[in-house]
């Protein structure tokens, strides 16, 4: 079903806080320090700015990341919803409706999910398959831009930006092709 | 030739011509529906209808293997396009995004007629506030990316309601934009033939078209392979198998019998004359079935080869036994015995006539008419055609050679008791595993074909197809209205967890009444604009952004209602066609029901249908098992009745309980032994084994009757005739035992050994010791 294809491409796959420490500093060292992250729980607040609406839509809930492949996003407001990304499978539960998507069926969705998973897991090779990477800032306050190579991904999202300090990802911003954007801020609950 | 003789020959010749005409103009079939019931119950009728005509009987599954994924996808799309254009298919699906986009557009354009959520309340200010608020909330969800672009025209989210109907179904995996197996190494397509399941020729053309179109599109990719399966392929395979088997069996048994007869007679004239009754009988049998049933099943013809084995016995008896004296002697001395043998055989076969399985009734009619004609030709025509002073080689040497053995068998009579006890014990101990309860085991499909089918089905996520709710109505509209009532009840069961889900044609084609009600629930443009203002008061969405919504609702209020025609060519139309079918003046609705994690609560389902007259809940798996069990049970009773008729006939003719028992004992014992042996060999007995057992009694009764005469063991001519007759029978049925068509194999493997046992046991029991 193509609803799924579109769904699969969703930016709002998320994740969680990280920690560890870093040494001399460039993309490789950032990736290495991200890779050491052990996962855990975090609170998120996501703000979507949509031209159609007079004010942003805000949702919040909890994230739970178990490296390298499982990520759970439990939205509590405004409506309960659970999204689980586990290996090749993406599951979305909303009320009585359950959607399951096999990511390998949907190459665009897979590339998208990999942007998130690749960053969380510090897998530079995986990220470079679909994106150009650009790092700026300092170890204490860095931002990493992911610019999609593939037109099919670019049709949905033109830039994904991760911001953080050391090996913590603190926020993610998705800039969509139509100018709408989403920003998710992440606050570790028990991350190490 | 006497005057009466000339009349007999003339009648015979005219009869042959008449039969040949009937056969020449007749129809031969090979679908398995002959082995489905003729007088079914209401639920069985649906089952049989589905097997003969239903969408399952038209479903072709195709897989493309080899080459790489983009090539397979390209071939899949090209093949689907060509098949759809061929006109031989009601629908072709391969998961192509373009096809889905068309369906989605159709659903979007008709969303206010299709969405079950549309009613007056939803379009009140409060209802709009609720629905639009939900849609805005959804923007926060990952799904929001898709719904965002729809929001200005569909702020109440009707399209999502409709798509949810698709989501509940298991969808195949997708690779490179088309359906594929889970591992992505096989592209999958599915098509519905226009030809019904009972139209094997039409389905054959459709399958040939699939192969030809694939050959054309894959001409430059030699490493790509096409796999085809599904019910149409099954019926073609079945027909091809039955045809080749029948031809092979006919040739093998004919050669075997000719060799035996030549060895026995050493005369071409005798051989030719000896085969006349057989051929006449076979021709008459086929003609009788054509007249009685309208067509002849391939299996009946295959079975006919066995009749050669029995019918040829008559001429053997005649030639061998009449050697010693005149025809008049033979008529006086042997004919009454043969006549009684024919009559007992007829009693046995007559019971098959009452079977609810048209296939078995055909076998019965074929055998009865074939045997009567063969016996009559032997008795009335053969003596006329026999050249003067014609005699076959003296076969009494053969008889003399085995006479001591035959007498010796008499000494072993005590053994019979031991064997009888042992066989009875085996049958008793294994009584629960004696009968095979699966109808599918009668299917002539090789396991490889079934395995391919199972694998393609699993790729499609189409593993469960077992439950149906069935409704009937005199018109399409009434059928749809009834389906809507039932669907409402079923939805309650889904919510309660009694069932996992269901499909209904009304999801894609609501009844006219429902569509009108939905259309009437839509407010006029000005009214909607006013309500919208109120609804949006505290929402972050301004009414100006929803002009598309006002336009679309206004269009929906004036646009024509959806009809079956407007859905043609779409997946929705195909889904409706599968679930809503016209048969003559009746419309039938089939609502497939899926089980929930805990299975299916059949009692709750039946209770929910209690208020809907004529609605049936069908568990296809259970129903087909029950159907088969019914027919097996019926066949057992019919066989017992046939056996009882044989016993009564013998008692009435022989006028001696002792002699009757002496004739029947070896037959019963042969049946017991065959049952015990087959069971020990691990073969589960089917309906056709049962027919075989009945045949054993019918054929064996001839032997038993001759031995009952008391002099046989010492009469080398009679003994020789029995030996030759027995070997032709064994050749006929032995050939059947090698058949891969289960129906034929079952009969062969039962009657072949059964006939030998009947002869040996008759010899054992019937040799009167006082004569020795």
Q: Using an 8 Å CB-CB cutoff, list chain A residues near B164.
A: 97
Residue B276: how many other CB atoms lie within 10 Å: 18
Q: What is the DSSP string of B456-499?
A: HHHHTT-----EEEEEEESSHHHHHHHHHHHHHHHHHHHHHTSS
Query: In Å, how far is A97's CA from the nearest CA of chain B?
Result: 8
Which residues are within 8 A (CB) of B652 and not within 5 positions of it... i.e. 6 or more apart?
none
Write out the two tokens for B53.
Answer: 């005509």
Length reported for chain B: 772
Q: How far apart are CA B755 and CA B176, in angstroms?
A: 62
Q: Using an 8 Å CB-CB cutoff, list chain B residues near A94.
A: 141, 143
Model pTM score: 0.69
Residue A1: how many other CB atoms lie within 10 Å: 17
- Between B462 and B70, the more confident residue is B70
Is there a contact between B542 and A1 if contact means CB atoms under 8 Å apart? no
Q: Using an 8 Å CB-CB cutoff, list chain A residues near B139.
A: 48, 50, 53, 57
Is there a contact between A79 and B100 if contact means CB atoms under 8 Å apart? no
Which residues are within 8 A (CB) of B432 and not within 5 positions of it... i.e. 6 or more apart?
none
Residues of B with CB under 8 A from a CB of A: 97, 100-101, 104, 136-146, 148, 151-152, 163-164, 166-167, 171, 173-175, 184, 540-542, 545
Is there a contact between B141 and A79 if contact means CB atoms under 8 Å apart? yes
Tally of domains in chain A: 1
Is there a contact between B100 and A46 if contact means CB atoms under 8 Å apart? no
Q: How far apart are CA B464 and CA B20, in angstroms?
A: 48
> If DSSP codes are grouped into helix, strand and coil, which group holds residue A15?
coil
Q: What is the pLDDT of residues B554-590, one digit of tens each?
A: 999 999 999 989 988 788 888 888 888 887 788 889 8
Residues of A with CB under 8 A from a CB of B: 1-3, 5-7, 9-13, 46, 48, 50, 52-55, 57-59, 75, 78-79, 81, 83, 92, 94, 97, 99, 102, 104-106, 156, 180
Q: Using an 8 Å CB-CB cutoff, list chain A residues near B163.
A: 1, 3
Of chain B, the end-to-end C-alpha distance in Å amounts to 42
Is there a contact between A52 and B184 if contact means CB atoms under 8 Å apart? no
Q: What is the pLDDT of residues A5-50, one digit of tens each?
A: 434 333 333 333 333 333 457 888 888 888 887 878 889 999 999 8
Q: Using an 8 Å CB-CB cutoff, list chain A residues near B174.
A: 105-106
Q: Quick one: which of A168, A170, A167 has its CA closest to A184?
A: A170
Secondary structure element (H or E) that encloses residue A145, with its range = strand A141-148
Q: Is the ipTM of this complex over 0.90?
A: no
**Predicted confidence (pLDDT) at residue B417 exceeds the cutoff of 60:** yes
| Beta strand ranges found along B272-311 (DSSP E) | 296-297
Q: What is the pLDDT of residues B206-252, one digit of tens each?
A: 999 999 999 999 999 989 999 998 888 887 887 788 778 878 887 88
Q: What is the pLDDT of residues A52-78, one digit of tens each?
A: 888 898 999 998 888 777 889 899 988
Contact assessment for residue B233 and residue B207, using Cβ atoms and an 8 Å cutoff: yes
**Predicted confidence (pLDDT) at residue B552 exceeds the cutoff of 90:** yes
CB pairs under 8 A between A and B: 86
Q: Which domain holds residue A158?
A: 2-188
Supply the CATH number for residue A153's domain.
Answer: 2.50.20.10
Is there a contact between A53 and B140 if contact means CB atoms under 8 Å apart? no
């Amino acid at each position: 079903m193509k609803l799924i294809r579109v769904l699969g491409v969703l930016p709002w796959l998320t994740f969680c806080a990280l920690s560890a420490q870093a040494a001399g500093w460039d993309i490789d060292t950032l990736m290495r320090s991200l890779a050491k992250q052990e996962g855990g729980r975090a609170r998120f607040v996501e703000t979507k700015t949509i031209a159609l609406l007079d004010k942003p839509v805000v949702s919040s809930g909890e994230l739970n990341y178990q490296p390298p492949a499982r990520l759970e996003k439990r939205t509590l407001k405004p409506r309960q919803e659970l999204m689980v990304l586990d290996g090749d499978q993406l599951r979305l539960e909303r009320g009585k409706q359950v959607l399951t998507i096999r990511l390998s069926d949907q190459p665009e969705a897979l590339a998208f999910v990999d942007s998130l998973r690749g960053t969380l897991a510090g897998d530079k090779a995986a990220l470079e398959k679909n994106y150009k990477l650009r790092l700026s800032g300092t170890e204490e306050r860095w931002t990493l831009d992911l610019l999609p190579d593939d037109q099919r991904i670019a049709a949905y999202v033109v830039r994904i930006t991760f911001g953080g300090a050391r090996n913590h990802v603190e926020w993610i911003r998705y800039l969509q092709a139509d100018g709408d954007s989403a920003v998710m801020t992440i606050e570790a609950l028990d991350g190490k | 030739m006497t005057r009466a003789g000339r009349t007999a020959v003339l009648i015979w010749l005219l009869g042959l011509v008449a039969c040949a005409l009937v056969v020449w103009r007749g129809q031969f079939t090979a679908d398995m529906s002959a082995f489905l019931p003729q007088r079914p119950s209401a639920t069985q009728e649906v089952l049989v209808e589905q097997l003969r005509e239903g969408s399952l009987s038209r479903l072709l599954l195709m897989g493309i293997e080899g080459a790489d994924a983009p090539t397979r996808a390209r071939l899949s799309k090209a093949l689907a396009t060509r098949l759809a254009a061929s006109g031989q298919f009601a629908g072709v699906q391969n998961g192509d995004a373009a096809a889905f986009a068309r369906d989605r557009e159709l659903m979007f354009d008709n969303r206010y007629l299709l969405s079950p959520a549309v009613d007056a309340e939803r379009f009140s200010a409060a209802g709009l506030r609720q629905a639009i608020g939900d849609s805005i909330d959804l923007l926060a969800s990952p799904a929001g990316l898709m719904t965002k672009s729809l929001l200005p025209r569909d702020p109440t989210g009707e399209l999502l309601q409709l798509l949810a109907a698709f989501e509940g179904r298991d969808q195949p995996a997708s690779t490179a934009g088309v359906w594929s197996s889970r591992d992505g190494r096989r592209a999958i397509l599915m098509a519905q033939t226009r030809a019904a399941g009972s139209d094997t020729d039409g389905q054959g053309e459709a399958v040939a078209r699939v192969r030809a179109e694939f050959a054309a599109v894959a001409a430059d990719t030699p490493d790509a392979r096409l796999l085809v399966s599904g019910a149409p392929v099954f019926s073609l395979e079945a027909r091809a198998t039955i045809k080749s088997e029948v031809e092979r069996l006919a040739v093998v048994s004919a050669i075997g019998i000719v060799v035996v007869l030549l060895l026995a007679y050493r005369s071409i004239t005798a051989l030719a004359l000896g085969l006349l009754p057989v051929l006449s009988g076979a021709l008459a049998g086929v003609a009788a079935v054509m007249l009685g049933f309208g067509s002849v099943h391939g299996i009946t013809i295959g079975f006919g080869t066995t009749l050669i084995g029995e019918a040829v016995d008559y001429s053997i008896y005649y030639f061998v036994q009449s050697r010693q004296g005149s025809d008049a002697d033979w008529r006086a001395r042997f004919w009454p015995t043969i006549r009684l043998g024919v009559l007992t055989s007829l009693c046995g076969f007559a019971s098959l006539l009452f079977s609810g399985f048209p296939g078995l009734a055909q076998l019965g009619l074929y055998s009865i008419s074939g045997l009567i004609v063969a016996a009559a030709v032997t008795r009335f025509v053969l003596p006329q055609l026999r050249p003067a002073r014609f005699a076959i080689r003296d076969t009494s040497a053969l008889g003399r050679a085995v006479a001591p053995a035959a007498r010796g068998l008499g000494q072993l009579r005590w053994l019979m008791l031991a064997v009888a006890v042992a066989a009875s014990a085996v049958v008793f101990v294994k009584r629960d595993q004696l009968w095979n309860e699966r109808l599918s085991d009668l299917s002539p499909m090789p396991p490889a074909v079934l395995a391919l089918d199972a694998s393609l089905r699993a790729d499609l996520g189409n593993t469960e197809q077992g439950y149906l709710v069935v409704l009937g109505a005199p018109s399409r509209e009434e059928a749809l209205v009834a389906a809507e009532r039932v669907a409402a009840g079923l939805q309650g069961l889904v919510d309660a967890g009694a069932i996992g889900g269901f499909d209904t044609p009304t999801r894609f084609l609501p009844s006219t009444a429902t569509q009108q009600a939905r259309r009437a629930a839509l407010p006029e443009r000005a009214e909607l604009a006013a309500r919208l203002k109120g609804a949006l008061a505290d929402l972050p969405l301004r009414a100006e952004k929803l002009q598309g919504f006002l336009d679309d609702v206004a269009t929906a209020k004036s646009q024509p209602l959806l009809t079956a025609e407007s859905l043609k060519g779409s997946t929705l139309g195909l889904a409706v066609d599968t679930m809503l079918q016209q048969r003559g003046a009746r419309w039938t609705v089939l609502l497939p029901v899926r089980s929930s994690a805990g299975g299916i609560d059949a009692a709750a389902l039946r209770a929910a249908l209690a208020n809907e007259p004529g609605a049936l809940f069908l568990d296809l798996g259970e129903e087909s098992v029950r159907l088969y069990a019914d027919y097996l049970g019926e066949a057992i009773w019919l066989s017992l009745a046939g056996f009882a008729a044989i016993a009564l006939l013998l008692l009435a003719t022989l006028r001696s309980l002792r002699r009757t028992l002496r004739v029947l004992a070896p037959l019963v014992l042969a049946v017991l032994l065959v049952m015990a042996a087959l069971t020990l060999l691990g073969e589960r007995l089917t309906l056709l084994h049962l027919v075989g057992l009945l045949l054993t009694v019918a054929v064996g009764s001839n032997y038993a009757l001759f031995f009952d005469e008391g002099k046989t063991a010492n009469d080398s001519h009679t003994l020789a005739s029995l030996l030759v007759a027995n070997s032709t029978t064994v050749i006929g049925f032995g050939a059947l035992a090698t058949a891969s068509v289960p129906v034929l194999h079952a009969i062969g493997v039962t009657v072949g050994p059964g006939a030998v046992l009947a002869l040996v046991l008759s010899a054992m029991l019937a040799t009167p010791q006082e004569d020795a």
